[in-house]
Amino acid sequence: TQLLEQSPQFLSIQEGENLTVYCNSSSVFSSLQWYRQEPGEGPVLLVTVVTGGEVKKLKRLTFQFGDARKDSSLHITAAQPGDTGLYLCAGARTGNQFYFGTGTSLTVIP
Amino acid sequence: NAGVTQTPKFQVLKTGQSMTLQCAQDMNHEYMSWYRQDPGMGLRLIHYSVGAGITDQGEVPNGYNVSRSTTEDFPLRLLSAAPSQTSVYFCASRNTGGHGYTFGSGTRLTVV
């Protein structure tokens, strides 16, 4: 059983559309991270959120940490082909363990 | 800075063979981890280390050994390869208390 569930698992959209990816758990995390991974490469950190209710923006990407620190969302505005990739969330619990979600594979069609 | 360097990039093993996946980082990070990535399962933690001489097990440690003799290096050893160990392996490092991992580019391992 995965500690962090992401939805949807796959997403294919047209360039210019908006989308939201969800990362959900029944556990509380001290912080949550979002990564993007391209084929043949390792994940690259996009953002870390720490405080419940926190919202961070990175250009067209908006990240939100749930008030109870159990879930997070990633919203992309006006998606571009360069946004194509695998999006992973990762939650930190007490100690040194980070738990990764199952991933959302995004394809943006030109 | 090279970041996290993993070798080899690709490897094919026969069942029962042993091998070592190499990982080195040049950022003086205390914390290093090994993950395996399988379709639909995300990244699962195999072993991790919080500093030289200290290692611990993650979620899926069976069939793997690690050691951390220096801050820079964290090799992963497969003792007797099995087809179930076919996967993409990632090494990652971060500062203790730091929020983000730096990942290597991965090793794609196939066991036949």
Would the pLDDT of B95 be above 90? no
For residues B46 and B41, what is the distance between their CA atoms, to the nearest angstrom? 13
- Going from the first residue of chain A to its last (110 residues), give the mean pLDDT of each consecutive group of 10, the final group possibly shorter: 86 97 93 93 94 95 96 97 96 79 94
**pLDDT at A95 (0 to 100):** 62
**pLDDT at B16 (0 to 100):** 97
**pLDDT at B32 (0 to 100):** 94
3-state secondary structure of A100: strand
**pLDDT at A1 (0 to 100):** 58
For residues A91 and A25, what is the distance between their CA atoms, to the nearest angstrom? 9
More confident residue, B38 or A97: B38
pLDDT band at B61 (very low <50, low <70, confident <90, very high): very high
Give me the phi and psi of B51, to 5 degrees please: 165, 170
Shortest Cα–Cα distance, B9 to chain A (Å): 10
In sequence order, the β-bridge partners of residue A110 are: none
**pLDDT at B53 (0 to 100):** 94
Chain A residue with Cα closest to B99? A48
pLDDT band at B1 (very low <50, low <70, confident <90, very high): low
More confident residue, B40 or B104: B104
Judged by a CB distance cut-off of 8 A, whether residue A40 touches chain B is yes
Instruction: Say if CB B78 and CB B16 are below 8 A apart.
Output: no
Q: What percent of chain B has pLDDT over 70?
A: 97
DSSP assignment letter at A46 = E
Judged by a CB distance cut-off of 8 A, whether residue B50 touches chain A is yes
For residues A71 and A4, what is the distance between their CA atoms, to the nearest angstrom? 9
Shortest Cα–Cα distance, A85 to chain B (Å): 14
Closest CA to B103 of A53, A110, A86: A86
**DSSP string over chain B:** ---EEEE-SEEEE-TT--EEEEEEESS--SEEEEEEEETTTEEEEEEEEEETTEEEE-SS-TTEEE--SSSSB--EEESS--GGG-EEEEEEEE-TT-S--EE---EEEEE-
Q: What is the mean pLDDT of residues B27-54?
A: 92
Q: Convert the pLDDT of each residue in B2-22 to its tens digit.
A: 799 999 999 999 999 999 999
Size of interface A-B (CB pairs under 8 A): 57
Chain B residue with Cα closest to A87? B42
